[in-house]
Structure 1
Amino acid sequence: MRRFPPFLLCALLSVGASAAPSADAKDAGATADKDTVELVDSFLKADTAKIPAGAIPVFMKIDPETLPERQRIPYEAKKAELQALRMAAESKRKPPIRMAGKEPVENCPREKGTKKLIDTLMGMGFGQLDPQEVLFLEKKTRCTECELIDEFGLKVTIVPPDKKKKEKYPMRYYLMHQNSPAWALIAAYRKGSEGGTNFFGVGFFGACR
Structure 2
Amino acid sequence: MTKRAVFINTGFDPTIALDAVAALSLSTGDLLILVYPMTTYGHSKIRSENTITQIKAHLDLLKTRGRNIILKELGIGLTDLKTSIATLLDSIAEAKNAGLRVYLDLTGGVRAITVLMTLIAAWFPHLVDEITLVSEVNQMRISLPVIPSAILNDWTLCAVLEIVALRGNVKRKDICRDLGISESSISRAVTKLKNMGLLDEELRTLSLKDKFKDLEPFFTRLVKYTNFQKMK
Same fold (TM over 0.5): no
Normalized against structure 2, the TM-score is what?
A: 0.30
Q: Which has a greater percent of strand?
A: 2
| Structure-1-length-normalised TM-score | 0.32
More relative contact order in 1 or in 2 (CA 8 Å, sep 6+)?
1
